[in-house]
């Protein structure tokens, strides 16, 4: 847990200023027995969340340029088996996390490269902001990734990434790593890269079983289901069509779609919620806030986002973070399609989710 909440006991200045030898002796004995007096602490309980993470936006051009340069200079087989640049929140004192609960990064793979198989308890997802052609193998099931696709890598699923094509590819990774680390529940295992037919099927096995259509599922689906969505990829064509259908009848010009387990009443994974939002050109959204943090990626369009009084311009490929309980609001200059991942399922499961909306004025 972050020390930030308990700064009082680390600063030297004791609240009770005057010298008192008896109390000093007590305090020494307390410390010696691995105890700490609550009445000398500060910041444990605050009226609203005291959030270290800051609002921030990373611009697409920098992400692409630095990823590309890393591709030139850093081989894939170095630490972590992945060529990944983590978005590091400026408020977190150098931790490689985009917020206190989320990891976000861009991953870059050159033509012909293979990021080898492993699995871990932190759950991951990929959202493809641009390009395509890399395929991920999920417990033996190859999944081609293309622009606008959302691909899950659920907890403890073996995964590896192949780039069989002629172009390099970059995508967004989001993980619940900080949550799993905070719970002391990190497990990791290397895998063997599987022999996969290079002529990968355009549809994964998961799609063929669970991705056929709304409300259609194999009769035997119920018995074999894992803790996460059995559908591990959501294709852009369907997402786009669904957003268009919602937008057709929207009076506000602000519609949102949630990616869900197609069989059960739940988010795609126990720790991560995924949504896609489409805001019509010219629309300013209501001001929202909620507990838990959000990673947002601009899939398409231009606009601005205001987060706790700070304003950021937005263009395609930009990534921004909304810390817990920060007020936020979008202005769409063109039609704006934004992909969002959050830890909301965690907050909801623990009955800690709160939200507030202010009507647009």
Tokens of 287: 């001001």
Kindly state the smallest distance separating residue 10's Cβ from a copy of itself, in Å: 6
Q: Which is nearer to a copy of itself, 33 or 192 (CB)?
A: 33
Nearer CB in complex with a copy of itself: 23/281: 23
Q: To the nearest whole angstrom, how small is the minimum distance from the Cβ of residue 42 to a copy of itself? A: 7
CA 86/CA 172 separation, integer angstroms: 10
CB of 295 to a copy of itself, least distance (A): 14
In angstroms, rounded to a whole number, what is the distance separating the alpha carbons of residues 327 and 301?
A: 22
Q: In 10 A of CB 78, how many CB atoms?
A: 9
Q: Name the minimum Å distance from CB 261 to a copy of itself.
A: 7
Q: Shortest approach of a copy of itself to residue 162 CB, angstroms?
A: 19
CA atoms of 281 and 284, how far apart (whole Å): 9
- From the list 158, 143, 155, 153, the residue with the least C-alpha distance to 190 is 158
Closer of 155 and 335 to a copy of itself (Cβ): 155
User: Within 13 Å of residue 135, how many CA atoms lie on the same side as its CB?
Assistant: 21
Give whole-number Cα distances, 5 to 46, 48, 106, 112, 183, in Å. Answer: 9, 13, 30, 47, 17
Question: For a copy of itself, which is the closer residue by CB, 107 or 335?
Answer: 107
In angstroms, give the least distance from the CB of 258 to a copy of itself: 5
Decide whether 165 or 260 has the Cβ nearer to a copy of itself. 260
Q: Which secondary-structure segment (H or E) carries 96?
A: none
| Residue with smaller CB distance to a copy of itself, 94 or 309 | 94
The backbone region for 292, taken as left when phi is positive above 0, alpha when psi lies in -120 to 50, beta otherwise, is left
């Amino acid at each position: 847990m972050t020390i930030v909440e308990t700064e009082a006991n680390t600063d030297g200045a004791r609240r009770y200023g005057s010298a008192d030898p008896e109390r000093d002796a007590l305090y020494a004995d307390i410390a010696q027995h691995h105890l700490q007096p609550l009445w000398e602490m500060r910041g444990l309980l605050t009226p609203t969340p005291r959030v270290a993470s800051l609002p921030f936006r990373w611009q697409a051009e920098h992400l692409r340029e630095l990823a590309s340069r890393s591709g030139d200079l850093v081989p894939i087989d170095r630490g972590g088996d992945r060529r990944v640049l983590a978005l590091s929140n400026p408020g977190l004192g150098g931790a490689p996390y985009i917020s206190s609960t989320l990891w976000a990064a861009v991953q870059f793979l050159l033509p012909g490269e293979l990021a080898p198989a492993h699995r871990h308890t932190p759950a991951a997802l990929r959202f493809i902001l641009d390009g395509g052609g890399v395929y991920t193998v999920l417990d033996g099931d190859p999944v081609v990734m293309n622009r606008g696709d959302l691909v899950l890598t659920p907890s403890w699923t073996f995964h590896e990434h192949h780039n069989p094509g002629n172009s390099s590819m970059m995508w967004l990774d989001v993980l619940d790593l900080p949550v799993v680390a905070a719970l002391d529940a990190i497990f990791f295992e290397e895998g063997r890269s599987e022999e996969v037919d290079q002529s990968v099927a355009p549809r994964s096995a998961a799609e063929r079983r669970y991705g056929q259509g709304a409300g259609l599922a194999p009769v035997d689906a119920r018995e074999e289901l894992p803790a996460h969505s059995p559908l591990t990829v959501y294709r852009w064509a369907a997402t786009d069509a669904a957003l268009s259908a919602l937008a057709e009848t929207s009076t506000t010009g602000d519609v949102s779609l949630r990616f869900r387990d197609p069989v059960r009443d739940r988010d795609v994974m126990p720790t991560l919620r995924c949504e896609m939002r489409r805001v019509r050109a010219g629309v300013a959204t209501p001001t929202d806030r909620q507990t838990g943090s959000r990673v947002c990626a601009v899939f398409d369009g231009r606009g601005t986002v205001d987060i706790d009084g700070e304003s950021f311009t937005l263009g395609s490929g930009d990534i921004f973070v909304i810390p817990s309980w920060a007020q936020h609001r979008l202005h769409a200059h063109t039609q704006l399609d934004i992909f969002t991942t959050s830890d909301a399922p965690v907050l909801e499961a623990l009955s800690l989710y709160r939200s507030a909306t202010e009507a647009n004025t």
